[in-house]
Amino acid sequence: MQQIADRIFLFTSVMQQLNTVVIIDDEYIILIDPGFFPQEITEIQTFIRPWETPTRQRFMVITHSHFDHIAGVSYFPGYQLIVSEKWDRANEQRSRARLERFDGEFYVDRPWHGLLSPILSNHTVRDGQKIGPLLFFATPGHTQDSLSILYQDVLIVGDYLSILEFPFINHATNDYETTLRLFLKIVADYPVRLLVSQHGHHAQTLAEIKQRVVVSQEYIRSVRRDVQNTIDQHLSAEYLTNKAASFEYLGGMISVGLVEAHRRNVLRIWSEYHEADPRTQNTAEINYINQPLQNT
């Protein structure tokens, strides 16, 4: 556990360096994406227990419906659950199935058998809505139901702007780019000092936050360029996906574990180009894209 600001604590899982944000102030206890492994969750429960007084309201926010983010929900029954009004029930269902497969494959013991129960939220929030000390932003692109949260001068952005990974575009590239521009507007409009991405180390300066936005924008531009060039040369999507392993990002090759995620991004952008021009649509590629996603 590390304290990153007054009243704000981060618990980082060994699972994809997933960050759980814990906010404890005079009136509220707020958990954001509580996860992932049971022992890690016990550590969070133990930490917050002394602060769970009757006068503090308890909230839990889930930034989006991927399996690593929802795994801890049922461990905190007294907490009011907040999700986006765009919550993706179908994606949640895939995530619950994926969690069950993961737990079965790696023998993770949890206090239930089979599938995690469906997520029952107490509040669904829209863009610009406030609950207690939290201000919510709709930030689609990674998923349609991605939420970002501002608490005082700390912006929490779910799976965006991670130093560990390039953009994982599971919803729509245009929305993803709009969200990246929104982050720049938020840091211009509000006195944001820290940015927490849900995977990996947080950003501690405004310059670093902006740099992360630029890096994500450049990644998308670069994939778009590759797709456009491939189309111009009348080559296939397969030609491009075959080159995925040698794609360069931040001055080096992408890690072997992320090649598949990059390949999916390529195919998504490819299919988005062809959706704009149905004469060239290749349904086999679109079907591949619409398979249950393994990204987080």
The nearest distance, CB 142 to Zn ion, in angstroms, is: 6
Taking CB under 5 A as the binding criterion, the range among 43-51, 153-161, 223-231, 261-269 that sits at the site for Zn ion is: 153-161
| Minimum CB distance to Zn ion smaller for 230 or for 296 | 296
The nearest distance, CB 274 to Zn ion, in angstroms, is: 25
The nearest distance, CB 158 to Zn ion, in angstroms, is: 7
| Minimum CB distance to Zn ion smaller for 66 or for 262 | 66
The nearest distance, CB 114 to Zn ion, in angstroms, is: 23
The nearest distance, CB 168 to Zn ion, in angstroms, is: 6
- Residues numbered 50 to 69 that lie near Zn ion (CB under 5 A) are 66
Among 159, 165, 177, 285, binds Zn ion (CB under 5 A): 159
Q: Does 171 bind Zn ion (CB under 5 A)?
A: no
Q: Which residue is nearest to Zn ion (CB)?
A: 66
- Residues numbered 77 to 116 that lie near Zn ion (CB under 5 A) are none
The nearest distance, CB 197 to Zn ion, in angstroms, is: 11
- One DSSP character per residue, 172-216 reads -HHHHHHHHHHHHHHHHHS---EEE-SBSPPB-SHHHHHHHHHHH
| Minimum CB distance to Zn ion smaller for 98 or for 274 | 98
| Minimum CB distance to Zn ion smaller for 66 or for 264 | 66
| Minimum CB distance to Zn ion smaller for 28 or for 183 | 183
User: How many Cα atoms sit within 13 Å of 12 on the Cβ side?
Assistant: 13
- The closest of 296, 59, 273, 291 to 160, measured between CA atoms, is 296
- 24 secondary structure, DSSP code: E
Interface map 13-52 toward Zn ion (x if CB under 5 A):
----------------------------------------
| Minimum CB distance to Zn ion smaller for 69 or for 274 | 69
Taking CB under 5 A as the binding criterion, the range among 3-11, 49-57, 154-162, 180-188 that sits at the site for Zn ion is: 154-162
Report the Cα 228 to chain-centroid distance in Å: 27
Q: Count of residues binding Zn ion (CB under 5 A)?
A: 3
The nearest distance, CB 140 to Zn ion, in angstroms, is: 12
Long-range contacts of 39-44 (CB under 8 A, 24+ apart): 40/11, 40/13, 40/14, 41/72, 41/75, 43/1, 43/11, 44/11, 44/20, 44/72
The structure tokens 């509220």 sit at 28
The nearest distance, CB 264 to Zn ion, in angstroms, is: 13
Relative to beta strand 194-196, strand 154-156 is parallel
83, 85, 91, 92 alpha-carbon torsion, rounded to 10°:
40
Q: What angle (nearest 5°) sits at the alpha carbon of residue 101, between those of residues 97 and 103?
A: 115
| Minimum CB distance to Zn ion smaller for 18 or for 237 | 18
Residues 66, 295 contacting (CB under 8 angstroms): yes
Q: In which region does residue 7 sit, left (phi positive, over 0), alpha (psi from -120 to 50) or beta (all else)?
A: left
Residues 274, 281 contacting (CB under 8 angstroms): yes
Which chain residues interact with Zn ion by CB under 5 A? 66, 159, 296
